[in-house]
Structure 1
């Protein structure tokens, strides 16, 4: 059983994202096995453009993140270069793009750091260096769900990683949006592949959402499908979508117990005075969540990395998104056949999971409950391969 109090799982959700542009915060992922060691120096990274729709000359790569507490970008030589306000050029944007090789595969190198690998197709990204709250240089990264963002009309997407002395920890992510189908192959002690979308899968996701009321407005032309949480904030998704389901859950567990199994033990909860209160290894109280809390796995469902509240909040968040809380009074539910079976559910996550070859996707922040996320790791990595797969 996979429970939700592992450091890397909670760390994935602690990424700080600001509307209208994200200032990168790290780490995105944290190591899970402190006794293992990765090879010193850069990790070979191969970028493969199998999109079929874009030539190598139309594809650009950006590697940005944090290293030793400073925000950095990676240059063509594989060196982590600290950000500077002077990096902003004419028009107020940087030029951190790494072009692909003229033909075939592009071979790069990843220094030890936490960050994102962005790819843009058909146009360059407009990234700006600003000062953060402490006056240090920070990067405004793309927010494809914000119409006023300068990168809104640009086709782009990203993968996330942490490469440190304990190994490589990485994933493709659809938590914010789904745009460019990509897969990761990590080779080390083992060979790990994730994120591969079946042929025609991108179009299938867009079509499934366009057919579903409330989700149809999440598709932005042929550029991307925006996650419903961001759609809610942008006025493209109803703020009370989960209301009827929340009512049913609260009514059910006023009459009977809800149990959540974690590594710390089993928590047993009931709704009392409008709050869901659990007893067990600790006493935990959850306010009635809103639709936004569910979609962002935040607010009343915030999951601290404490091994107690965090795992319970994660199981509840996954249960709401997958709409399984009324199927069983024992959570987490780990049988995928039970997921997304009700009319009120996260149809965005459902659509994405349906087109990924191994059924794993990061459709919402608690999608790693039960090990359904596109997360892979190796404690002795030798190389990483990112492939832009056919559209």
Structure 2
């Protein structure tokens, strides 16, 4: 446990003077009671259980950030599962159910009153579910040292949407369907393939089949070695005559579908046997990462090697183009684009994959919404970067983009615990 409170500076670099923040989490000093930071930026509001579902909050917890270029500093206690929400040109609506249960804004429920609003959140962000507003981090400790996660450029969402549409057109697939437009016809958000399938369960059906077939065929005759990066060390598997990727005395993996690969938690990546659950989870995380990045066929040693910060991720089709594009557009290529995007080889060089800011004695966390002033562009700025056109050339080598704030909570060692 570190400081009982932490200051968070919320900076508005959007073009709007109407930007609100909401801070939510579980107060670990009050039996993990769900709490909202009030609009004064320092007091907590603990919702009470209503008698009927979908009741409004008793307090307005919208924290106004002020005009572009201004900063609002708030003070939070030790929160678990903390989130900071941002919305531009409007306010968000949270509801209460008996319990109390908190009904948070949704990007997958088209009937949600917040669905058409321009909002995003960071988990103290994470692009596992969607991309919307640019959000960046800077953590300063009590000694004055700083760590920075740059986030997206100002026009990052438009870049991502343009590349998703072009990738879908170039290969005749569904990537462009991940783009959600607002009532004004402008890009509102880009959904991850996992979230996109909530609205269309058939999205990407069969997308990874050819690659999975190729991998299973290869490892019927070749050893696949997976470094669990835990007490089990390197384990070796092969595809058995029954068609299952088998790790002796540990467990087996059937061929995953696209949704299994994008979610990293269904099909063969879920319901592990109790006696080997943790070891299977470690293996499954590395297999899921290799499949999302399409390195499983090319490298029988996983996690895939990273040399001097360069990697071989997303080089062939099919691949997780959402993750590839988000990595490429992000200014420093760091943060989560799929659930196991923090999987990296031991001893990997270059910036950390997870985009984690870590310090045992934090003084100030600055969260900027709207992108850098005069925002520069990421590595895919022209919107013309596609993969799988047959020429085998791809000179951009973005760092893998893994959970930039999803782990900040844990990184702040109890001040913000996730």
Mark yes or no: TM-score above 0.5. yes
Q: Answer whether contact 2:290 2:303 (CA < 8 A) is retained.
A: yes
Instruction: Give 1:196's aligned residue.
Output: 151
Question: Is 2:188 the partner of 1:227?
Answer: no
Q: Which whole-Å deviations, capped at 9, do the CAs of 1:52-109 have from their partners, x for residues lacking one? A: x212xx11111112123222111124233322245999x8433431222457210111
For structure 2, the 5+ residue unaligned runs are 169-173, 182-186, 345-351, 376-418
- Cα deviation, 1:215-259, whole Å, max 9, x if unaligned, reads 001000110000101112211722221122111111111121111
Compare CA radii of gyration and give the structure with the larger one: 2
TM-score by length of 2: 0.75
- Distance in structure 1 (CA, Å) of the matches to 2:354 and 2:164: 20
Q: Give the alignment's Cα RMSD to 1 decimal.
A: 2.4
CA distance in 2, matches of 1:234, 1:246: 25
- Alignment partners' CA distance in 2, 1:323 and 1:47: 38
* Pairing of 1:177-216 with structure 2 (within 5 A): 177-188=130-141, 190-213=145-168, 214-216=174-176
Distance 2:158 2:52 in 1: 36
Aligned residue in 1 for 2:358: 377
Secondary structure at 1:254 match in 2: coil
What CA deviation, in whole Å up to 9, does each residue of 1:291-324 have, x standing for no partner?
1111111022249896522221111111011111
Match for residue 245 of structure 1 among 197, 211, 219: 211
> Which residue number in structure 2 is paired with residue 110 of structure 1?
76
In the TM superposition, what are the counterparts of 1:251-270 in structure 2 within 5 Å?
A: 251-261=217-227, 262-264=229-231, 265-270=233-238
Poorly superposed stretches of 4+, deviation over 4 Å: 86-89, 303-307
Provide the C-alpha distance between the structure 2 equivalents of 1:157 and 1:241, rounded to a whole number of angstroms: 28
* Count of equivalent residues: 334
Tell me whether 1:65 sits opposite 2:20 in the alignment: no
Task: Identify the structure with the greater strand proportion.
Answer: 1
Tell me the distance in 1 between the aligned counterparts of 2:361 and 2:35. Answer: 24
Residue segments in structure 1 that go unaligned for 5+ positions in a row: 1-36, 162-171
Shift of residue 38, structure 1, vs aligned partner = 1.6
Matches within 5 A, 1:285-324: 285-299=252-266, 300-302=268-270, 308-324=279-295
Query: Separation in 1 of the partners of 2:322 and 2:225?
Result: 27
How far 1:47 moved relative to its partner?
0.4
TM-score (norm 1): 0.80
* Contact 1:303–1:313 under 8 Å retained in 2: no
Deviation at 1:181, TM superposition (A): 0.6
